[in-house]
A and B are shown apart, each in its own frame.
Chain A
Amino acid sequence: MFPDDTFKVKRYFHHKDFHKPHHSRATPPQADVSTQKSGTREIKVVRRVLDVNEKMAEQNRKLFAEKGLFVLNVMSSPGSGKTTTLQKTLARIMPEIKTAVIVGDICTTHDADRLANTGAPVVQINTDEFGGDCHLVAHVIEKAAITLALDDIDFLVVENVGNLVCPAEFDIGEDSRVVVLSVTEGEDKPVKYPLMFRECEAALLNKIDLLPYLEYDKEKAVDYIHQVHPGMPVFEISAKTEEGFDAWIEWLKGKIKAKVH
Chain B
Amino acid sequence: MHEMGIALQIVEIAVGSLPADLGEARVAAINLKIGKLAAVVPESLRFCFDVAIKDTLLAGAKLVIEEVPVVARCKDCQAQWTIDQPVFICQMCESGSLEILSGRELDIESIEVVEEDNHVSG
Taking the closest CB of chain A, its distance from the CB of B79, in whole angstroms, is: 15
Contact assessment for A34 and B120 in the assembled complex, using a CB-CB cutoff below 8 Å: yes
Contact assessment for B19 and A34 in the assembled complex, using a CB-CB cutoff below 8 Å: no
**Which of the residues B50, B97, B120 comes within 8 Å of A28, measured between beta carbons?**
B50
Number of interface residues of A (CB under 8 A): 51
Interface of B is mostly: mixed
Contact assessment for B110 and A52 in the assembled complex, using a CB-CB cutoff below 8 Å: no
B71 within 8 A of A: no
Contacts of B5 in A (CB 8 A): 18, 131, 133
Contact assessment for A133 and B108 in the assembled complex, using a CB-CB cutoff below 8 Å: no
Chain B's interface size range is: 35 or more
Residue of A nearest to B115 (CB): A39
Residue of B nearest to A34 (CB): B120
What residues make up the interface of A, taking CB atoms closer than 8 Å to B? 18-19, 21-22, 24-28, 30-36, 38-50, 52, 131, 133-135, 163, 165-166, 168-169, 190-192, 194-195, 198, 226-231
B residues 25-42 near A (Cβ < 8 Å) are 25, 28-29, 32, 37-41
Residue of B nearest to A26 (CB): B47
Contact assessment for B109 and A45 in the assembled complex, using a CB-CB cutoff below 8 Å: yes
B residues 77-122 near A (Cβ < 8 Å) are 86-89, 95-97, 100, 106-115, 117-122
**Which of the residues A47, A135, A230 comes within 8 Å of B96, measured between beta carbons?**
A230
Contacts of B114 in A (CB 8 A): 33, 35, 39-41
Contact assessment for B50 and A43 in the assembled complex, using a CB-CB cutoff below 8 Å: no
Contacts of A49 in B (CB 8 A): 6, 9-10, 13, 32, 106-108
Contact assessment for B122 and A40 in the assembled complex, using a CB-CB cutoff below 8 Å: no
Contact assessment for A46 and B88 in the assembled complex, using a CB-CB cutoff below 8 Å: no
**Which of the residues A21, A133, A191, A194 comes within 8 Å of B37, measured between beta carbons?**
A194
Taking the closest CB of chain B, its distance from the CB of A53, in whole angstroms, is: 8
* Pairs A–B under 8 Å by Cβ, sample size 12: A21-B47, A35-B119, A41-B113, A42-B110, A45-B110, A47-B108, A49-B32, A52-B9, A134-B2, A166-B1, A229-B88, A230-B89
